């Protein structure tokens, strides 16, 4: 995100890296002779100062501006983690990384297309696609995809992709409509050769067009939709200054980096003259898409879109009236390419307000009053395209203190040749065209500060009470509250049958009734990782096996699947973090919440998929002493009809 603060001494220590800073970073690398033609630069992020120092920071105080990054030498496959101090223009930390043990660098821009000439030069592969009726290689698109780890000895110590191919009959044709299935090439990018070509009995290439812009496919555009106009004639109710977004009682610092994309920092709510902290840092720290088709051409498919593809770098340039509607504020983002150069992503972040129906309403027969107030929310969002899928991430802040994260999945489902109409691991979308079953599992990293750094966490379930002398009519029910005291105990799963929620409470502050101030995490009860316990993907994506993990904050524990994800053999990240089994009582806590979609594709998802949704909510629970929206005024005259003097009476939802 562009830094518009002219005085570096007044710049907040969490201000995202600017173009001049990235250029200065590259200058240090060049002076240290760390950049060659074979060097690739990954995972460039601001190395954030300690939480305590940031919370204590005041304008005029200069904290170190440091950059963390990973260098890959493609000629030797040497990995080097660096920390650069921008003020001193020097490398202050340097560490070599064992790529075999810890994982390789993420996918580079050249990897996606780099497999194409290698594969097309291999006679085994050319023969395999010819058997499927494809001889014009100019119409073949080869896609090199992250390979995972599956025990092949000749893949150790090299950069690997697995290559699938699609036929594209004309430039705007949808390649996903014509998978050349039943063949996959295992490609060694380091030595530029195909290690093996794996075939199955699927021999056909689906023929029906998937070009959803072609009138022959979509039909004529309908003419029945009337315009909906969203206007704010007096302007927006929020302000954005030096990266701080302020709206109603909310304040949040907006960040962005090339790995996670949008990040939220120091989220607080102004209450009784005080900005009360709730969330120190929030992001989507990882996501995995794992496929459930066991055939050799698809069983290896699992993609970590954050760690393997750095989805922050893939953010879309959002468009008014299409991606966002209404009075919009756009924010550019600055990321770093594979060669260490800054790239500005225009309109990467969208900020706007939305009406959200009824906030509260009551018609009172005894007092003769009828009152209604409108809910409103602030939306902070970005969209990324990762190959065939498009993902939107929408943070919502509500007038009543609620926080919500919603992910939107759309784009095009990954396709295959359908082995048979009743094949149990895919859906037939069109004649001979399949879409394998799969999951999209996200990990939200929520560094909590509910009324301060010292927090505790409890699991709360609804409980049925048996009929007894105390409960003679059998109508009673209550709730159980279980304190999660250590990291290993806090590996938990959602349970919709008991309405399970997790309470994050202050260890230092209470409300006027004497209860600890707190927020509740409301999960959606959806499947976690469905792969077998002994599978490769479960070793690599251990975080996706449970809905909740809680750790004591540590600055080096940032990513649920570990620092290097590509070609990582597994067991890193959260499963290793919790081995310390640190205390969670009155400590600085980080919640890691797994949520997402288990997708059994529908015919309605083809040739482009309507948005599907997943997410979670954080709600205040005794954080406020009463409803914090009593001061929200009724809608102005002309928008809602008042039923009594001074009251608002519009009942629309």
Please report how many Cα atoms fall inside a 13 Å half-sphere around the Cα of residue 533, on the Cβ side.
0
**Three-state DSSP class for 512?**
coil
* Residue 389 annotated as catalytic: yes
From 544, 542, 530, select the one nearest 579 (Cα to Cα): 542
* Cβ–Cβ < 8 Å for 627, 620: no
The position carrying tokens 């030797």 is 76
Element (DSSP H or E) covering residue 267: strand 261-271
Cα(144)–Cα(185) distance, rounded to whole angstroms?
9
The position carrying tokens 């929030």 is 282
Cα distances (Å, whole numbers) of residue 62 to 54, 55, 87, 105, 172: 11, 13, 10, 32, 52
Neighbours of 56 (CB within 10 A): 11
Q: Which of 280, 303, 389, 425 is catalytic?
A: 389
The answer for residues whose C-beta is within 8 angstroms of residue 272's C-beta and 6 or more apart is none
Q: Which of 305, 390, 563, 605 is catalytic?
A: 305
Cα(33)–Cα(28) distance, rounded to whole angstroms?
9
Please give the structure tokens belonging to residue 52: 């305590």
* Residue 355 annotated as catalytic: no
Cα(544)–Cα(406) distance, rounded to whole angstroms?
18
From 218, 291, 141, select the one nearest 600 (Cα to Cα): 291
End-to-end Cα separation, the chain, in angstroms: 36
Please give the structure tokens belonging to residue 64: 């170190």
Please give the structure tokens belonging to residue 330: 């756009």
Cα(176)–Cα(209) distance, rounded to whole angstroms?
9
Catalytic center residues: 305, 389
């Amino acid at each position: 995100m562009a830094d518009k603060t002219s005085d570096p001494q007044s710049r907040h220590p969490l201000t995202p890296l600017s173009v001049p800073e990235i250029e200065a970073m590259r200058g240090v690398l060049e002076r240290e002779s760390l950049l060659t033609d074979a060097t690739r630069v990954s995972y460039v992020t601001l190395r954030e100062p300690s939480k305590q120092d940031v919370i204590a920071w005041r304008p005029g105080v200069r904290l170190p501006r440091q950059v963390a990054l990973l260098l890959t030498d493609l000629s030797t496959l040497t990995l080097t983690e660096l920390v650069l101090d921008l003020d001193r223009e020097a490398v202050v930390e340097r560490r070599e990384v064992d790529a075999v043990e810890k994982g390789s660098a993420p996918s580079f821009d050249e990897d996606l297309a780099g497999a194409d000439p290698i594969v097309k030069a291999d006679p085994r592969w050319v023969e395999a696609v010819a058997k499927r009726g494809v001889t014009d290689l100019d119409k073949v698109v080869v896609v090199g995809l992250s390979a995972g780890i599956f025990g092949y000895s000749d893949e150790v110590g090299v950069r690997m992709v697995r290559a699938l191919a699609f036929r594209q009959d004309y430039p705007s044709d949808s390649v996903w409509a014509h998978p050349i299935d039943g063949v996959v090439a295992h490609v060694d990018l380091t030595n530029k050769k195909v290690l093996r070509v794996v075939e199955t009995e699927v021999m056909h290439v689906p023929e029906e067009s998937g070009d959803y812009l072609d009138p022959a496919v979509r039909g004529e555009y309908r003419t029945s939709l009337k315009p909906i106009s969203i206007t704010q004639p007096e302007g927006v109710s929020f302000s954005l200054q030096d990266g701080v977004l302020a709206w109603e009682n909310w304040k949040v610092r907006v960040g962005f980096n090339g790995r996670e994309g949008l990040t939220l920092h120091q989220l607080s709510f102004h209450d009784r003259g005080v900005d009360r902290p709730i969330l120190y840092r929030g992001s989507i720290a990882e996501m995995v898409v794992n496929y459930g088709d066991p055939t050799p051409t698809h069983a290896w498919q699992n993609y970590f879109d954050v760690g393997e593809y750095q989805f922050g770098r893939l953010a879309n340039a959002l468009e008014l009236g299409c991606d966002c509607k209404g009075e919009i504020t756009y924010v550019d983002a600055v990321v770093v390419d594979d060669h260490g150069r800054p790239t500005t992503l225009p309109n990467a972040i969208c900020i706007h307000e939305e009406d959200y129906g009824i906030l509260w309403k009551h018609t009172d027969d005894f007092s003769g009053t009828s009152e209604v107030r409108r809910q409103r929310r602030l939306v902070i969002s970005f969209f990324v395209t990762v190959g065939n899928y498009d993902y939107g991430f929408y943070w919502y802040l509500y007038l009543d203190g609620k926080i919500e994260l919603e992910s939107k999945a759309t784009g095009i489902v990954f396709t295959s040749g359908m082995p048979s109409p009743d094949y149990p691991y895919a859906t037939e979308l069109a004649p001979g065209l399949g879409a394998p079953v799969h999951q999209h599992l996200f990990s939200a990293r929520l560094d909590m500060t509910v009324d301060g750094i010292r927090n505790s966490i409890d699991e709360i379930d609804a409980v049925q009470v048996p009929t007894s002398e105390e409960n003679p009519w059998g109508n009673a029910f209550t709730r159980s509250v279980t304190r999660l005291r250590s990291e290993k105990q806090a590996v938990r799963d959602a349970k919709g049958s008991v309405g399970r929620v997790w309470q994050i409470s202050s260890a230092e502050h209470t409300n006027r009734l004497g209860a600890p101030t707190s927020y509740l995490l409301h999960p959606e009860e959806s499947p976690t990782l469905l792969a077998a316990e002994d599978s490769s993907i479960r070793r690599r994506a251990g975080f996706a096996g449970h809905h909740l993990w809680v750790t004591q904050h540590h600055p080096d524990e940032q990513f649920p699947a570990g620092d290097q994800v590509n070609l990582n053999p597994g067991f890193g990240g959260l499963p290793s973090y919790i081995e310390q089994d640190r205390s969670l009582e009155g400590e600085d806590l980080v919640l890691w919440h797994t949520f997402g979609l288990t997708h059994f594709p529908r015919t309605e998802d083809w040739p482009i998929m309507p948005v599907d949704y997943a997410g979670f909510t954080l709600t205040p629970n005794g954080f406020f002493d009463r409803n914090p929206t009593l001061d929200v005024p009724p809608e102005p005259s002309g928008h809602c009809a008042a039923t009594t003097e001074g009251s608002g009476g519009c009942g629309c939802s």
